[in-house]
Every structure is written in structure tokens, then in C-alpha cells.
Amino acid sequence: MMREESKGTNYGIKILVVDDEKRIRDACRAMLSNEGFEVALAENGFAGLKRIEEEHFDIILLDLMMPGMSGIDLLTHVKAKHPDTLVIVITGYATLEHAIEAMKKGAFDFISKPFSPKDLRTVTAKAIEYIRTLEDIAHEKSRMGVLINHISDGVMATDMERLVALANPAFLRMIGYRGESAIGKSVTDLIRNENLLQVIEKALSMPAEEFGEVTEEFAEGALTDTEERVLAVRCVPFRDRLHRNLGTVTVMHDITASKKMDQMKSDFVSMVAHEIKSPMNSVLAMVKVIQDGLAGELTEKQREMLGRISEKIKGLADLAAELLDLSRIESGLITMEKGRLQLEPLLREQIEFHKAKARNKHISLSMDHVPELPPVLVNSRSIEEVFSNLISNAIRYTPEGGSIVVSAGVEQGYVLVSVKDNGFGIGKQDQDRIFERFYRVKNDQTRLITGTGLGLAIVKSIVDAHNGMIKVDSDIGRGSTFSVYLPIMQP
Amino acid sequence: MDNKTLILVVDDDPDLVEAISMKLESENYRVAKAYDGIQAWDRIRQERPNLIILDVMMPNKNGYQVCDELKKDPQYSNITVVLLTAVGESVTSTKYTHMDGKTALADEFIPKPIDLDSLMEIVKDYTR
């Protein structure tokens, strides 16, 4: 809450003093002007009434005992005409009952005669505090109202009875509501989509001690028939001081554009990668035919150079293949079909498959004793790719004569598979980044190892898409352990 | 070497077909060529190859379809099919390769880029 303190707290506050005693009027004027108030005076009830008809006062200091119109009568007029004006009644020494009567009729406070400047300051300060607080609330309300009505995200608040307390125009547009004012209606009258109603229900029933939000994505046309929008919806319960649920706030964000961009990017990458990959395959095969001397005799130098050409093209073909993979994972194609899978046979198969490569480098590749594993719900081909990548990385980043051990077990709702090598290891500064696309650890040992920098990015995307986790534990010179956690399939 | 063994090479890229053919011919195989699924069937009916090296991604009927039809047809199901899988997988080790959720019952799968030497090994194994 912002206050314009620089101009003084009392700046612009108008006070009317109504008292038949000139001495008191003058004393009040002197003191209050000094405090920065705008002060007006009236010598009796009629004069006071005339003043309040002419203008609005924030505070009225009102003597109750006056000839002619009494203070109580004037108070009644003030409350009828200016309900927000604060009236502080001035009472004589023995007239406490009058003060009580005045309070009942809506006076804000009272002050008894005789009073000191300090008494007056105290009672006006209290009134000012009250006025400023009301002002702050009003400003805040207005600011919030403007903000909520003008942001492009949809916002709706409900109470615990599922009645709509607030719904901005963007929200109503997003759900396709065109009826009369939504405020006070039940959410079921506004929202047709069952999933969205469930999101709100979930937030409403969230236990008070739990902080959380319910998120959901609504695909094109899910909420309205006409608009082809993708909406990200978040619904959060809001609470009082004692953390009791008071209702929910739902925020809808239109992510159509970013979804489209994502799709375009994936399509583009996949198109380019595919167009590059196919000719690479043919080139590689043709180079091989020439290398084998099937297109005429070759000199040793020609053969050697063709060997290098082949390696370079293989690198490019791998890159294209991995880009293709990544874009397929990102567009969700790969993880669409999941099935129940026992990991152990797959791991054994992978080890068999990579044995030849490991043997070439005199690396021992083996499987640790594996306890019986519960099944996981996965896309078997993607998961196969995860372990294939991890094992082939381990082979590439382990020097001759090293060893690689694959082990598996169960840990807190997950099947845990580790691929442990005693190779070059990864420095702490690189460990956070190795899962980024195109990030490759560059040092003397890895300089000559070829790779695209996409393998681990693919691995991570796949593991993420299975609600799993991947961790790396590594020390330079001692080796690395990559651990993959896949959630155990619920029966 | 048995010069009666006929290998059909099917790929929509003529350069790859030529390279594979040259390699096969150097090993004394007879070679037939086709550049899409429909042509592949023409060659299969006319020449009854012993083994087919079949690309997956092709216009006018892809390799999976050709393989599926062939393996379901008792007249041809004994022909060995080596599928060249290039559908995005950089590493494929086992035989449960899916496309559109289906499993193709090929005899052998080779991921692209093809290693011509391992391809020859496989061909030799099946045509011995």
C-alpha cells in the first residue's frame, strides 16, 4: 500500500468544527491548522448543516450541547448525507450517556471537555488512520480490478461453495461464456468442461497444510467449440490467516503460440535431419564400395583419405539421427505407447549388444547380480535407447583395460539402474551441464572422442517423459556412475 | 561361390542400391533392384529372390508393408527379409522394432547408416 507521505499525513483532509463556544472553535482551528488540516468552523447546528450541504468533510468535530439544533440531530443529518464522514463528538464532563447515544448513532469517537491539544491530536490521528486505511483498501481494490480486468491471462476466483467471486473478461472469453454477469453464479453454470471442473475440485479439497497447485493443459478446442487454443491452467486454493481454505483462484494462460512454435521447430529439425541423413547413408555406402576397391584399384593414400571421409560423414549422420530422435521425443511421439516391461532381459540384451565394442577396447562389460525387479510402464524402445546410450558412452569415456558394471535394484518406488565405469570421470563443473544439448566435456582425454553432444540430452528427455530421474556421480580420474530411476508400475 | 543366389535390393535411393549391389556382386551374388514397394513386389513375383534387402522408408508402399504382406503369403513367406531401419533410431539392437505400434516380422534388422561388411555377413549367414 502506497501513501503519499511526502505531502504530510494530514494534507488535504477537511475538518469541520461545530461548537457554540468561540473559544473552543478558535483553539481547535489554531491547533488543527497547525497540523496541516483544512479547517472550517460553524457556530451552531444550523450553520453546520449548511456547511455539510455545501461540501464534504472527512471529519467533523461536533459539540453535542448546543442551543437550537442539537448535536445529535446534526449527527443524524451527517450520517444520512455523508455516511463516510467521521464524526467525533465533543461532550461535556457529566454527559457520558450522550456520548454513548452518539456512538450508537454512528459517531466514530468522542472527546470530553475540557480537552488538551494532545487529546485532540490523539483523537484526530486515530480518525486519520482509519480514513487512510479505507482509502488504501479502496485504491488497492481499484488497482486490482484494473489489473485483473486488463491482463490477457484468464483469472477466476471461487469461494468454498464453488460460487464465482471474480472472473475477468479474458477468463470468460477463454471458456466461451457469453451470458450475463458471472459473479455469484456456480462454477458449474459457467464451465462445461468436466476436466476443468475437476481441477477446481482438486484445489478446493487440497489439505490446508499442503501448499500446492493443480495444473492441467487443455488442448485446442477443449474449452470452447470455436477457438483453437491451447491453454495452460493453474488452480490454487487461497487461505485465511489460520490456513483454512477460503476458495480457489484459477489462472489460464494461452500457450497456443509457443506450442505452435515448438511444433514448427520440431518439424523443421526433423525435416532437415531426415533430408541430411538419407544421402549420408548412400554416401557412406558408396565410399565403402570405393574403399573396398570395387570401383577400381586405389592407392594406399586414397584408401586412407577415404577412411577419414567416412569417419566425418558418420559423425554427421549420427548428428542427424540424434536430432531426429530428439525432435521425435519432444513432439511426444516416442513415449506415446507404453507397455509393461521387465528391465532385466533388456539390460542383458544391451550388454550383449555392446560387448563387441567393449572387447575391442579391452574393457570388461558385465552385469551385477540383480534382485527380482518389479515391472515398469515404459516405451521399451526408448528405454532401450537410454541404456544403449549410457553403455556406449561409458565405453567411449573409459580407457583401454577399464571396466563397466551395470546393476539394478529397487529404491523407494523406483527401479534404479546404474551404469558404473572407472573411466575418465566428469568434473563437478561439467556435471550440471552434460545433459544439455550439444554440451560436450572438452579436455585432453576427451578431445579425440567423437560425439554429437545430444546423446545425454536424449537420454534425459526420455527419462523425464517417463516421470523418472537421472543422476550422475563422478570424480575426475575415478570414473562415473549414471543412475536412472524409473517409477515402478502401479498394479 | 553359389552364383544362383538372387538378392533383391530395395531402396528409394538409387545410389545406395548401386553401392549395395556392387558389394553383393563382388561376392558373386546375382542382384535384382527395385526403388519402391510396388516395384519390389513386381520383382519378387517375377524373379523369386532368395533374400530381400528392404528399406523401410519408401514411397508407394513402405518396407514394413512389403515385409508384412510377404510374410503372410505362404507362397513367399520363406524368403529371407533384411529390413534397413532408418526411422529415427540411432541404435537398434533387438527385433522388436515398432512402426505405428506394429511389429514387423523380418528375419533381420540393420540400422542405417549401414555397415556394408556386417550386411554381407548377414547375407552370407542366410544364404549358406
- Residue B18 pLDDT class (50, 70, 90 cuts): very high
A226 pLDDT above the threshold of 70: no
Q: Residue B64: its pLDDT value, please?
A: 82
Please tell me the total count of domains within chain B: 1
Please report whether residue B82 resides in a domain. Answer: yes
A46 close to A72: Cβ distance less than 8 angstroms: no
Q: Residue A202: its pLDDT value, please?
A: 87
Same domain, A320 and A406: no
Chain B residues in contact with A317 (beta carbon < 8 A): 112-113
pLDDT per residue as tens digits for the range A295-344: 999 999 999 999 999 988 888 887 887 787 777 776 665 545 677 888 89
A37 pLDDT above the threshold of 60: yes
A406 pLDDT above the threshold of 60: yes
Q: Which of residues 84-103 of B touch A (CB under 8 A)?
A: 86, 88-94, 96-98, 101
Question: What angle separates helix A256-291 from helix B14-26, to the nearest 10 degrees?
Answer: 30
Q: Residue A5: its pLDDT value, please?
A: 45
User: What is the distance in angstroms between the CA of the first residue and the CA of the last residue of chain A?
Assistant: 54
Domain hosting A455: range is 339-487
Phi then psi dihedrals of residue A231, to 5 deg: -120, 135
What chain B residue is nearest to A286 in terms of C-alpha separation?
A: B19
- Residue A408 pLDDT class (50, 70, 90 cuts): very high
B111: β partners: B85
Please report whether residue B37 resides in a domain. Answer: yes
Please report whether residue B95 resides in a domain. Answer: yes
Question: Distance between alpha carbon B88 and the CA centroid of its chain, in Å?
Answer: 18
* CA proximity to A249, closest of A204, A293, A210: A204
Question: Distance between alpha carbon A67 and the CA centroid of its chain, in Å?
Answer: 66
Q: Residue A29: its pLDDT value, please?
A: 92
Please report whether residue B83 resides in a domain. Answer: yes
By Cβ distance, the residue of A288, A324, A349 closest to B19 is: A288
Q: Where a domain ends, among A117, A142, A167? A: A142
Q: Backbone dihedral region of A316: left (phi > 0), alpha (psi from -120 to 50 degrees) or beta?
A: alpha
d(CA A230, CA A261): 12
Please report whether residue B1 resides in a domain. Answer: no
A229 pLDDT above the threshold of 90: no
Cβ-count burial A357-371 (b if 16+ within 10 Å, e if not): ebeeeebebebeeee
d(CA A359, CA A352): 11
Report in angstroms the alpha-carbon separations of A60 from A83, A93, B31.
12, 20, 110
Q: Against a cut of 0.90, is the pTM above it?
A: no
Strand-pair category, A231-239 with A245-254? antiparallel
Please report whether residue B119 resides in a domain. Answer: yes
Secondary structure of residue A10 in the 3-state scheme: coil
**CATH code at position B15:** 3.40.50.2300
pLDDT per residue as tens digits for the range B57-106: 788 888 888 888 898 899 998 999 998 876 544 333 334 344 444 455 77
Same domain, A285 and A249: no
Domain hosting B103: range is 6-127
Same domain, A318 and A265: yes
Report in angstroms the alpha-carbon separations of B91 from A306, A309, A315, B112.
24, 22, 14, 9
Q: Where a domain ends, among A208, A230, A254? A: A254
Same domain, A346 and A239: no
pLDDT per residue as tens digits for the range A347-401: 998 898 888 889 889 999 999 888 888 988 888 878 888 998 899 899 988 999 9
Mean pLDDT within A29-36: 90
Please tell me the total count of domains within chain A: 4
Please report whether residue B103 resides in a domain. Answer: yes
* CA proximity to A277, closest of B63, B57, B104: B57
Secondary structure of residue B33 in the 3-state scheme: strand
Check: complex ipTM more than 0.85: no
**CATH code at position A441:** 3.30.565.10
By Cβ distance, the residue of A281, A288, A350 closest to B112 is: A281
Q: Residue A1: its pLDDT value, please?
A: 42
Mean pLDDT within B51-56: 92
Chain A CB within 8 Å of residue B120 CB:
no
Q: Where a domain ends, among A113, A142, A171? A: A142
Task: Tell me if B98 and A288 make a contact (CB, 8 A cut-off).
Answer: no
Q: Which residues of A touch B (CB under 8 A)?
A: 277-286, 288-289, 292, 294-295, 314, 317-318, 321-322, 324-325, 328, 337, 349-350, 353, 380-381, 384-385, 388-389, 392
Stronger pLDDT, B13 or A229, i.e. the higher one? B13
B1 pLDDT above the threshold of 60: no
**CATH code at position A137:** 3.40.50.2300
Chain A residues in contact with B116 (beta carbon < 8 A): 285, 288-289, 292
Same domain, A262 and A241: no
Query: How high is the mean pLDDT of chain A?
Result: 86
A57 close to A16: Cβ distance less than 8 angstroms: yes
What chain A residue is nearest to B90 in terms of C-alpha separation?
A: A321
Same domain, A292 and A343: no
